Structure 1
Amino acid sequence: MIRSLSAIFGTRRPMFGVCIMAVLQLQQFELRLADGRRLFQPIDLVLDRQFYVLTGRNGVGKSLLMAALAGLTNVSCQGQLVRHQPTTYLPQSAMTETETFSAALSLGNPTLEQQLAALKRLRLGIGRIGTGTDDDISLVADNWLLEQQLGEYLPAPLQLYDDWRHLSGGERMRCLLAAKLAGNEFLLLDEPSNHLDHVNKEWLAQQLRTRTTGALVISHDPVLLQAASHILLLTEQGIEVFSAGFEAYQQCLQHRLERQCQQAQQWQRQQRQLLETAQTMRQRAARRTAQGRQQVRDGSQGKALGDFRARRASQSLGGLNRRMAQRLHTHQAQRISMPAAVHNRLYAPHGKNQHSLWLNAVLPISGHPTVQLQMQAGECVWLQGRNGCGKTTLLRCLSGQQSFAAGEYSLPNAFLYLDQHASCLDQALTAMAFLQQALPGTDATELRTLLAGIGLKRERASDTISTLSGGEKMKLALLLAHQQQAWLLLDEPDNHLDAQAQDDLVDWLNRLENGFILVTHNQYLAKKIEGLTTVVMGSDTGEGN
């Protein structure tokens, strides 16, 4: 059962008391950044042991809200948050900021981190004096086999403290999720389906759907949205709850989009009418003034009377201008903007890279699979395959970041590789400074327009890239890609992108003249892209054909 207490979601206002099955309760809860900016209106919400998906546009504050629910945020929290049951948290950074399975599991879980550190000290202290303390024994409690238990979720011969970055993103995420799902806490998972192939996404959806202790998951993935008991849409106005399924949620958003378009068009018509009325009335007043002055010059009207009428006409015109200015100001304050969904925010460059591609090469991974691929200039390929089959390795070899183990190939003269984590971005720069460096000679006004198109307006464009959300970073990387006359290697570019940004990506790829290789496990997105040639890696013979 979910109860939303905010007035925008209903007129009933239940008491903020203890709910027997409640896991998390929020009352007038909000987040503020260091500069005082409020991310969203105060939230009133009760979550119990069901499967919730939290979604919303990139940058609205979903990850910060989840970190706050886990008690691990650095931003200012105001209002009341009550945790009735234990939670366990898996942040996005577990995939990007860690080198070992133990570190990834510990990120966002201080208790586990302390227990593993205590076990290490006690293990090193066996047979020696001075290593390991009574406090360490208390921390470990009855979890003396914790390291062995966690190690069981790793593929042999990998161990808990081994560097595991040679595994694919999907393989690492599957290990993390298996360990998290084995516990009985309420799960807080930030975009867990990123990197997972379709089979593993379905597995995750089934696990979350049948979980008895509940979960809150941040996601834009249709597979998880379809499986959710409730969809929570986070906007600047707060949280709205949808409990009638993913299809009903989509229909509701579409109806709102259409209604906003109609309202925006009506506002534009009224604005034009006001401007036209103001112009007509000013012209009439100006004609009357001119006629009065002409009558004075012709002698048909006395100068004193003419001057009086001219002053009165001038005063009338001034009053008219003030009244119309007030009406225009009032109407402007009520402005209804056209939804961003009807605008395209990524622009395909003109011209095409004329080079073709062919290869018959061996990948430098376990099993040494051979990949055979041939593409003509402008051809577009959807590269499919299970997690760990070598898709990312192939793109890295094509871009020159790794070398093929053997084989022959002829490659285009220019590749642009966008990896899963948008690593081409300099995290220390602001978004504006990055584009100025990456696209020298581009007018600053045009750069600001591009940034505003992906939602980075005003102060957000001046924030460092490290503070942006995963989706905002990916959209910024795509802004760089759309300016390049090069073959594009796109490694899961839809990761982190909200629904509207995914539609923008599809629209851009459909108009792109250059060839590209796209890796994605989002079948819903790939099916919207026109003219894709499917290439499947990881067949029974170990070859990509």
Structure 2
Amino acid sequence: MLILQNISYQHENKDMLFQNISLTLNSHDKTALVGNNGVGKSTLLKIIAGQWQALSGQLNVSSIPYFVPQLFGQFNDLTIAEALKINDKINSLKEILKGNVTEENLLLLDDDWTIEERCQEAFSYWKLQNLDLNQQMKALSGGQKTKVFLAGIMIHEPDLVLLDEPSNHLDFLGRNLLYDFIKSTSSSLLIVSHDRTLLNILNKTLEMSKNGISIYGGNYDFYSEQKKIENNALEQDVQSKEKALRKAKEKERETIERQNKLDSRGKKKQEKSGVARIMMNTLRNKAENSSSKIKDVHAEKIGSIADDLRQLRSALPAIDQMKFGFNNTAFHKGKTLFKAHEINYSFENEFLWKENLNFEILSGDRLVLKGSNGSGKTTLIKIMLGELSPKVGNITLLNRKAIYIDQDYSLLDSSLNIYQQTQTFNDSSLEEHEIKMRLNRFLFAQNDWDKPCKALSGGERMRLMLCCLTISNESPEIIILDEPTNNLDIQNIEILTAAINEYEGTLIVVSHDQQFLEQINMEKEIVL
């Protein structure tokens, strides 16, 4: 079905992204591909799909894969039929039915007489009945674009399907349709996803890292348990290596002290016995050479242990050190921050919500904003922020600091590098070394500080955003997160979860990731 042997990929700037990646996918396999942001998962899918070229290695695919990408902007100027690559077949079928039975039309149709029926069935399954194949992709929401490409699986009926974060833009209904489809399809699947509900449906997990691909024989929960065992063993190795390093340094100190005592005793003995000065110098040089050799032997041993320890530590997950660090005493629980009375909003004289909204938000609330795609979640957020005014009803909007973090972390300025970006949040005039200490805490080492923000992965943007918030002098009283896990790998979701759970201010979250919502202890909800 699919065999990769020693696949390597190099960026245009000659930086190597990954080397010698090998994997095998058999018929009817339903496989997850997980790994940290930036390791090259999406790139590998594009290579398998034939969109990008590997630097080296062999790729064998028994049939043309069907690829559902993570981003759809490149299709905005196409119709739905063109994006799905069925426009020629549809047009040829229509011409034939009109009586224009040419060799060209028959060749383009390729005996696919049921293409229209499959389109209708697929669109019906994914709740896209109101879409026309000639409609422009740019007119669709992110969720609708995802569903269009998912519908393409049913239309093309491929043997191998590649899915890159397929649940990102889907609402709860869309996600459930996706889960049911994955369970029932006979196609082979290779899926990159951070959606743990989806990952638990799959029967095999592959972990991609800088060292290659590791195979785990079960779903995500099985993989997670195995990783815990591995990390515990790694922690024990680190502790064992730290102990060995302490012993080696202690042994070096004891040996040098013993040698110094022997040399001192020998010198006194030689002075008493009246050894000639030239002989004394020779003996002293021998003693110094002997001490130097002892130091070199111990230094080599200590250096080797220290190198091993550095490698082991670099493999450990780094989650606990990344925290907001806000002054929680500034938050006064129970204070009314926002109040809505009979509010609604309209587009082209049509109200967005069937019933007017009534609710209030108190300091310390942890509130989920739910609703299907197009239900007005973003509009309501803008009203809460004071960027839009309701067409009817009244709002009470207290003067308070609110931070809105969307799924692209667009508060970050793509024209700046990492260090320059942190300075834009430095309203308390922190010293340069303090800024750099915080960057290190959020896993941005010295060689990252000049990296442009536009080159950062989703997880790196999230970590930089968290770092910037800790640098800002004034703690935000409200943090609004709009689909915060969409572009994050599982490790970065865990980092974000740990940071959010430390925050005691008001939290408003839009998310379809049920497991994430449970882990951040959301208490209230508004359903649109």
Query: Distance between the aligned counterparts of 1:205 and 1:138, measured in 2?
Result: 36
Moved more, 247-256 or 287-296: 287-296
Quote how far apart the aligned CAs of 1:458 are. 6.2
Whether the aligned pair in 1 keeps the contact of 2:366 and 2:508 (CA below 8 Å) is yes
Residue number in structure 2 paired with 1:19: none
Moved more, 521-530 or 440-449: 440-449
Residues 1:453 and 1:498: Cα distance change in structure 2 (over 3 Å)? farther
Equivalent AA in structure 1 for residue 378 of structure 2:
T
Residue number in structure 2 paired with 1:247: 221
2:63 counterpart SS class: coil
The answer as to 2:482 corresponding to 1:496 is no
Residue number in structure 1 paired with 2:462: 474
The answer as to 2:385 corresponding to 1:394 is no
1:22-77: per-residue Cα shift (whole Å, max 9, x none)? 2x22122222223242424331423433322211111111011011111112x643
Residue number in structure 2 paired with 1:62: 41
Query: Distance between the aligned counterparts of 1:384 and 1:142, measured in 2?
Result: 45
Query: Distance between the aligned counterparts of 1:314 and 1:291, measured in 2?
Result: 14
Residue number in structure 1 paired with 2:412: 425
Residues 1:488 and 1:230: Cα distance change in structure 2 (over 3 Å)? same
The answer as to 2:359 corresponding to 1:373 is yes
Residues 1:166 and 1:93: Cα distance change in structure 2 (over 3 Å)? closer
Which of the numbers 17, 23, 32 marks the counterpart of 2:10? 32
Query: Distance between the aligned counterparts of 1:457 and 1:115, measured in 2?
Result: 52
The answer as to 2:506 corresponding to 1:507 is no
Equivalent AA in structure 2 for residue 322 of structure 1:
D
Which of the numbers 334, 338, 363 marks the counterpart of 1:358? 338
Whether the aligned pair in 2 keeps the contact of 1:100 and 1:165 (CA below 8 Å) is no
Quote how far apart the aligned CAs of 1:164 are. 5.4
Equivalent AA in structure 2 for residue 62 of structure 1:
K
Q: Which runs of 5+ in 1 are unaligned?
A: 1-21, 127-133, 539-545
Whether the aligned pair in 1 keeps the contact of 2:137 and 2:145 (CA below 8 Å) is no
Residue number in structure 1 paired with 2:422: 435
The answer as to 2:33 corresponding to 1:86 is no
1:295-341: per-residue Cα shift (whole Å, max 9, x none)? 788x6765636545433332222111111111122223322216124
Quote how far apart the aligned CAs of 1:377 are. 2.4
Query: Distance between the aligned counterparts of 1:165 and 1:443, measured in 2?
Result: 48
Equivalent AA in structure 1 for residue 16 of structure 2:
R
Whether the aligned pair in 2 keeps the contact of 1:29 and 1:44 (CA below 8 Å) is no
What TM-score do you get using the length of structure 1 for normalisation?
A: 0.79
Residue number in structure 2 paired with 1:534: 524
Query: Distance between the aligned counterparts of 1:183 and 1:481, measured in 2?
Result: 47
The answer as to 2:165 corresponding to 1:188 is no
Whether the aligned pair in 1 keeps the contact of 2:4 and 2:57 (CA below 8 Å) is yes
Residues 1:77 and 1:274: Cα distance change in structure 2 (over 3 Å)? same
Whether the aligned pair in 1 keeps the contact of 2:384 and 2:397 (CA below 8 Å) is no
2:185 counterpart SS class: coil
Query: Distance between the aligned counterparts of 2:184 and 2:176, measured in 1?
Result: 12
Quote how far apart the aligned CAs of 1:382 are. 2.6
Matched residue pairs, number? 497
Whether the aligned pair in 2 keeps the contact of 1:99 and 1:164 (CA below 8 Å) is yes
Query: Distance between the aligned counterparts of 1:178 and 1:267, measured in 2?
Result: 53
Which of the numbers 407, 410, 413 marks the counterpart of 2:397? 410
Equivalent AA in structure 1 for residue 369 of structure 2:
L
2:523 counterpart SS class: strand
What TM-score do you get using the length of structure 2 for normalisation?
A: 0.81
Quote how far apart the aligned CAs of 1:258 are. 0.5
Note the 1:107-506 alignment, pairs <5 A.
111=85, 115=88, 154=128, 156=130, 160-162=134-136, 167=141, 169-185=142-158, 186-290=160-264, 302=275, 304=277, 307-335=281-309, 336-337=312-313, 339-341=316-318, 343-351=320-328, 352-353=330-331, 356-360=336-340, 361-364=343-346, 367-369=351-353, 370-406=356-392, 407-439=394-426, 441=429, 457=445, 462-484=450-472, 485-486=475-476, 487-506=478-497
Q: Percent identity?
A: 22
2:496 counterpart SS class: helix
Equivalent AA in structure 2 for residue 496 of structure 1:
N
1:421-469: per-residue Cα shift (whole Å, max 9, x none)? 2222334444444334444755555555555555555666655444443
Residues 1:41 and 1:454: Cα distance change in structure 2 (over 3 Å)? farther
Residues 1:445 and 1:368: Cα distance change in structure 2 (over 3 Å)? same
Note the 1:508-523 alignment, pairs <5 A.
508-523=499-514
Residues 1:195 and 1:260: Cα distance change in structure 2 (over 3 Å)? same
Query: Distance between the aligned counterparts of 1:143 and 1:444, measured in 2?
Result: 66
Query: Distance between the aligned counterparts of 2:486 and 2:150, measured in 1?
Result: 17
1:270-291: per-residue Cα shift (whole Å, max 9, x none)? 1111122222323333444455
Equivalent AA in structure 2 for residue 537 of structure 1:
V
Quote how far apart the aligned CAs of 1:359 are. 2.2
Q: Which runs of 5+ in 2 are unaligned?
A: none
Whether the aligned pair in 2 keeps the contact of 1:55 and 1:62 (CA below 8 Å) is yes
Query: Distance between the aligned counterparts of 2:421 and 2:60, measured in 1?
Result: 41
Equivalent AA in structure 2 for residue 378 of structure 1:
G
1:227-268: per-residue Cα shift (whole Å, max 9, x none)? 112222111222222233333222111100100010011111
Whether the aligned pair in 2 keeps the contact of 1:191 and 1:219 (CA below 8 Å) is yes
The answer as to 2:515 corresponding to 1:524 is yes
RMSD: 3.8
2:16 counterpart SS class: coil
Query: Distance between the aligned counterparts of 1:136 and 1:404, measured in 2?
Result: 54
Query: Distance between the aligned counterparts of 1:81 and 1:54, measured in 2?
Result: 17
Quote how far apart the aligned CAs of 1:165 are. 5.5
Whether the aligned pair in 2 keeps the contact of 1:58 and 1:497 (CA below 8 Å) is yes
1:334 counterpart SS class: helix
Residues 1:300 and 1:102: Cα distance change in structure 2 (over 3 Å)? farther
Quote how far apart the aligned CAs of 1:400 are. 4.2
